[in-house]
A and B are shown apart, each in its own frame.
Chain A
Amino acid sequence: MYIYDTFDHTVTRERVAEFSQQVKRRLAGELSEDQFRPLRLMNGLYLQLHAYMLRVAIPYGTLSSVQVHKLADIARKYDRDYGHFTTRQNIQYNWIKLDQVPDLLAELASVEMHANQTSGNCIRNVTADQFAGVAGDEVEDPRIVSEIIRQWSTFHPEFSFLPRKFKIAVTGAPKDRAAIQFHDIGIQIVRNSAGEVGYAVYVGGGMGRTPVVAPLIRAFLPKAEILSYLEAILRVYNRYGRRDNIYKARIKILVRDLGPAEFTRQVEAEWPEIRPSGVNLPAAEEARIEAFFAPPAYEKIAEPVASFVEAKAKDRAFARWVSTNVHPHKIPGYGAVTISLKPIGGIPGDASSAQMHAIADLADTFSLSEVRVTHVQNLVLPNVKQSELFAVWQRLGEIGFADANIGLVTDIIACPGLDYCALANARSIPVAQQLSKRFADLDRQHNIGPLQIKISGCINACGHHHAGHIGILGVDKAGQEFYQITLGGAGDETASIGQLIGPGFAGEDIVGAVDKVVATYIAIRSSTSETFIDAYRRVGAAPFKESLYGRR
């Protein structure tokens, strides 16, 4: 993992001191709310329905066990004993008191964490594949370039007041586990025909009220050029992005209006102006950062691991959990465990302080003290020996996080929705809970197979509904919560935007409607190996429309 140097520590501490003074002045009435709001947002502090909410950055979703313990301590000390892991690999605390924020931030800084740039019109927390460094299919560890981008974008003076917020995601593998094409910039680490490692660059993706799958603007960018190229993209956006209309201010609108070819031309014209400026990282500095992500000291383990094979044979529930929740590791004898934060009937992404402490302990005992956050609101223990997977599974069972449902119908993304969020039009979490209970039967879940349901409580789409195989969007219809269904979205390397299937459903009817969609899929699939999304892409919306609304 990256470890802060003196500069990182200094800027983090100075920002805490600065914001602490701003909070003090606000509480003393020396700053008005209009003056204070942009300052608190720059520090990740929102005002939601019930209290202030603090969004803490988890760069590229990587945490040490020490940091997880600290996040748990903060949940207990400053919040109501829990936190919420988000689709941007951050954690949010829902019950924060303004006068306690300075102390909280100081505690975060003590473990090299902060809430900087988790809000505001700046470059937000960089997200990445949760299996970075351990996935067998990756070209290179995406944490290295993510960390380089983190350092470059932190308090970048030119890009602190962009037309709108700006999100960058990185995948190191052809299999996209970071939804890169739904980001302002998506970076895929690739190898060219000469065997050199570089980046494919996608620009102008996004969700919200105008969902767009980002077009590719450069198929291969040499590694050393990444910062100058990003700077060229941001400079074109900063100059021409719409500041007159908040709904048209994201880079996706600029790329769409100019057309990808013209946008690319402008970036490529800007790029040579920037390259000589020295923004590209010197090779020695890149090597210094890369060294932080050197593989840990893995043991040499021969496969098959007899005890692991035996445990799977003896215990069907364990074998099933392995099949969904353990991802192949690039090192023989290891596995990467996804901890499902989606217990049946639970709140997606929520974890109590006790659960967080337990997970940190598991990381120390079994996973080289590392934890990852996924954009699907789960956690990962990236380095577990196969011989210890059974013990990990049992301990996860003790804290209620051993559900064998990763990638299945109950592994639902849900935004906080109207239960917490000041922007929401409808509740998301209760819908997720009801769906989870409806599909609780594990035999049924495994029979249905891979199926992603994603729920947003408003058009801002924090719940990624546009990218859901089944997307659910909550709307306010004359003061009542209604839910629209979209079908056919995907956030992976086959990215697509879900299509609205028809009129929405009342809160009491939405679960039944989703059940009908799933039943229709079961009825039409060509075989049990044809997944929901494959079947939908083969047959289209018609049979699903008919089952929901009848023949028209």
Chain B
Amino acid sequence: MAQAKLESKILTANRLRDGETVYYTAAGAWSPYVTEARVASTPDDIDGLSKSGAAAYAANIVVDVNVIAVVPGRDAKPAHIREVIRASGPTVRADLNKPVVRPQR
């Protein structure tokens, strides 16, 4: 039986205090920039993300926690258009778009 292809995943949520879309990083923090998301590619890693999300939800740091698929590659890029829009803002207001990479100071 052919094995289902395992997708790479990242952990996303909205910050409780202000609702901003955030991503769980390799350092165990929450970043507003999707490219800083920790990418999990093994079942154990993905399970670890889910547990981290549940813990942050229980700790009232974030809400609406979800593990989402990303396109294979070096930087985390959401696979579904819904998540692309969450990562970068409404497509109809370029002036309100959010960078996916942390701006350089």
A residues touching B (Cβ–Cβ < 8 Å)? 26-27, 29, 32-33, 47-52, 80, 96-99, 347, 418-420, 422, 424, 427, 429-430, 433, 479-481
A481 to B81 CA separation, bound complex (whole angstroms): 9
Question: Is B96 part of the contact surface with A, judged by Cβ < 8 Å?
Answer: yes
Among B57, B79, B91, residue most surrounded by chain A Cβ atoms (within 10 Å): B91
CB of A27 within 8 A of CB of B18, answer: no
Q: In angstroms, how far is the closest chain B Cβ from the Cβ of A490?
A: 28
Knowing A347-B92, A418-B82, A481-B81 touch, does A47 contact B14 (C-beta < 8 A)? yes
Closest to A37 in B: B63
Supply 22 A–B pairs (Cβ within 8 Å), ascending by A.
A27-B16, A27-B60, A29-B59, A29-B60, A33-B16, A49-B82, A49-B86, A52-B19, A80-B96, A97-B17, A97-B19, A99-B17, A418-B82, A418-B85, A419-B90, A419-B91, A420-B90, A422-B64, A427-B85, A430-B92, A433-B92, A479-B81
- With beta carbons under 8 angstroms apart, the residue of A26, A33, A51, A429 that contacts B19 is A51
Dominant secondary structure of chain B at its interface with chain A: loop
A420 to B60 CA separation, bound complex (whole angstroms): 23
B residues near A97, Cβ cutoff 8 Å: 17-19
Q: In angstroms, how far is the closest chain B Cβ from the Cβ of A312?
A: 35
B residues near A433, Cβ cutoff 8 Å: 92
Chain B positions 6-32 with a Cβ under 8 Å from a chain A Cβ: 14, 16-21
Contact pattern, B 41-69, Cβ under 8 Å of A = 1, otherwise 0: 00000000000000001011001100000
CB of B91 within 8 A of CB of A49, answer: no
Closest to A46 in B: B19
A residues near B57, Cβ cutoff 8 Å: 33
CB of A32 within 8 A of CB of B19, answer: no
A29 to B89 CA separation, bound complex (whole angstroms): 28
- With beta carbons under 8 angstroms apart, the residue of B16, B79, B98 that contacts A98 is B16
A419 to B64 CA separation, bound complex (whole angstroms): 17
A11 to B57 CA separation, bound complex (whole angstroms): 33
CB of B20 within 8 A of CB of A98, answer: no
Which 8 A-B pairs rank lowest in CB-CB distance, beginning with the nearest?
A419-B90, A51-B19, A97-B18, A52-B19, A29-B60, A429-B92, A49-B86, A33-B63
A418 to B89 CA separation, bound complex (whole angstroms): 10
Closest to A49 in B: B86
CB of B21 within 8 A of CB of A49, answer: yes
A residues near B80, Cβ cutoff 8 Å: 479
CB of B19 within 8 A of CB of A47, answer: yes
Closest to A52 in B: B19
A80 to B17 CA separation, bound complex (whole angstroms): 17
Q: In angstroms, how far is the closest chain A Cβ from the Cβ of B82?
A: 6
Closest to B20 in A: A51
Q: In angstroms, how far is the closest chain A Cβ from the Cβ of B49?
A: 19
Knowing A419-B91, A479-B80 touch, does A50 contact B17 (C-beta < 8 A)? no
Q: A33-B63, A52-B19, A96-B19 are in contact. List 5 more A-B contacts (CB 8 A).
A: A50-B20, A98-B19, A99-B17, A419-B90, A430-B91
B residues near A32, Cβ cutoff 8 Å: 60
A residues near B92, Cβ cutoff 8 Å: 347, 419, 427, 429-430, 433
Q: In angstroms, how far is the closest chain A Cβ from the Cβ of B16?
A: 7
Q: In angstroms, how far is the closest chain A Cβ from the Cβ of B44?
A: 26
B residues near A418, Cβ cutoff 8 Å: 81-82, 85
Q: In angstroms, how far is the closest chain A Cβ from the Cβ of B31?
A: 15
Q: In angstroms, how far is the closest chain B Cβ from the Cβ of A102?
A: 13
Q: In angstroms, how far is the closest chain A Cβ from the Cβ of B23?
A: 13
A427 to B81 CA separation, bound complex (whole angstroms): 10
Q: In angstroms, how far is the closest chain B Cβ from the Cβ of A495?
A: 31
CB of B63 within 8 A of CB of A47, answer: yes
A residues near B14, Cβ cutoff 8 Å: 47, 51
Chain B positions 70-105 with a Cβ under 8 Å from a chain A Cβ: 79-82, 85-86, 89-93, 96, 98
A residues near B59, Cβ cutoff 8 Å: 29
CB of A419 within 8 A of CB of B81, answer: no
A29 to B94 CA separation, bound complex (whole angstroms): 35
Q: In angstroms, how far is the closest chain A Cβ from the Cβ of B77?
A: 14
Q: In angstroms, how far is the closest chain A Cβ from the Cβ of B55?
A: 13
A residues near B82, Cβ cutoff 8 Å: 49, 418, 424
Knowing A33-B63, A481-B81 touch, does A99 contact B91 (C-beta < 8 A)? no
B residues near A29, Cβ cutoff 8 Å: 59-60
- With beta carbons under 8 angstroms apart, the residue of A49, A98, A419, A422 that contacts B17 is A98
A419 to B63 CA separation, bound complex (whole angstroms): 20
Q: In angstroms, how far is the closest chain B Cβ from the Cβ of A437?
A: 13
Q: In angstroms, how far is the closest chain B Cβ from the Cβ of A26?
A: 8
A residues near B85, Cβ cutoff 8 Å: 49, 418-419, 427
A residues near B81, Cβ cutoff 8 Å: 418, 479-481
Q: In angstroms, how far is the closest chain B Cβ from the Cβ of A348?
A: 10
A96 to B21 CA separation, bound complex (whole angstroms): 13
B residues near A98, Cβ cutoff 8 Å: 16-19
